Amino acid sequence: MTGPRVDSVCRVLALRANGIGDFLMVVPALEAVRSCYPDAEVTVVGDAWLPALLDGRPGPWDRCLVAPAFPGLRGLPTDAAPGQDAGGFFEEQQARGYDLALQLHGGGATSNTFVSRLGAGLTAGARAPGAPPLDRWVRYLPGRHEVLRWLDVAALVGAELPGGTARLVPRLVVTGADLERSRVALPGDRRFVALHVGARDLRRRWPTERFVAVARMLLGEGLDVVLVGGDADREASAEVVAALTARADGECVDLSGRLSLPATLGTLARAELFVGNDSGPRHLAAAAGTPTVGVFWVGNVMSFGPLAGDRDRALVSFRMHCPVCGAEQVHHRCDHDVPFVGDVNVAEVGEAALDLLAMGGLDRGAGAGPVGRDGSLRPRRPRGGAPGRAGSTDPATPA
Say which CATH architecture domain 176-359 belongs to: 3-Layer(aba) Sandwich (3.40)
Q: What is the mean pLDDT of residues 249-278?
A: 94
- Out of 214-223, 273-282, 310-319, 389-398, which region has the weakest mean confidence (pLDDT)? 389-398
Q: What is the mean pLDDT of residues 170-180?
A: 97
pLDDT given for residue 166 in this prediction: 84
| Burial (Cβ within 10 Å: 0-12, 13-18, ≥19) of residue 299 | buried
Residue 374 is classified by DSSP as T
This prediction has a pTM of 0.85
pLDDT given for residue 165 in this prediction: 80
Q: What is the mean pLDDT of the chain?
A: 88
Residues 6+ away with beta carbon under 8 Å from 163: none
Does residue 363 carry a pLDDT above 70? Answer: no
R_g (Cα) of the chain, nearest Å: 21
Dump pLDDT digits (tens) for 106-128.
999 999 999 999 999 999 999 99
pLDDT given for residue 394 in this prediction: 40
Q: How confident is the model at residue 77 (pLDDT cuts 50, 70, 90)?
A: very high
Q: Which of 203-207, 331-335, 389-393 has the highest mean pLDDT?
A: 203-207
Q: What is the mean pLDDT of residues 386-397?
A: 40
Residues 6+ away with beta carbon under 8 Å from 220: 248, 249, 250
Q: What is the mean pLDDT of residues 368-380?
A: 41
Does residue 85 carry a pLDDT above 60? Answer: yes
Q: How confident is the model at residue 399 (pLDDT cuts 50, 70, 90)?
A: confident
pLDDT given for residue 370 in this prediction: 35
pLDDT given for residue 267 in this prediction: 98
CATH superfamily membership of 11-162: Glycogen Phosphorylase B; (3.40.50.2000)
For the residues of 325-359, what is the DSSP string, one character each?
Answer: T--B-SS---S----S-TTS-HHHHHHHHHHHHHH
Dump pLDDT digits (tens) for 137-157.
999 988 899 999 999 999 999
Q: What is the mean pLDDT of residues 379-394?
A: 34
The better pLDDT of the pair 136, 378 is held by 136
Q: What is the mean pLDDT of residues 81-92?
A: 96
Dump pLDDT digits (tens) for 2-45.
899 999 999 999 999 999 999 999 999 999 999 999 999 999 99
Does residue 299 carry a pLDDT above 90? Answer: no
pLDDT given for residue 374 in this prediction: 42
Closest alpha carbon to 305 in 17, 19, 21: 21
Residues 6+ away with beta carbon under 8 Å from 134: 103, 108, 112, 115, 116, 123, 124, 125, 127
As annotated, the residues of the chain forming the CATH 3.40.50.2000 domain(s) are 11-162, 176-359
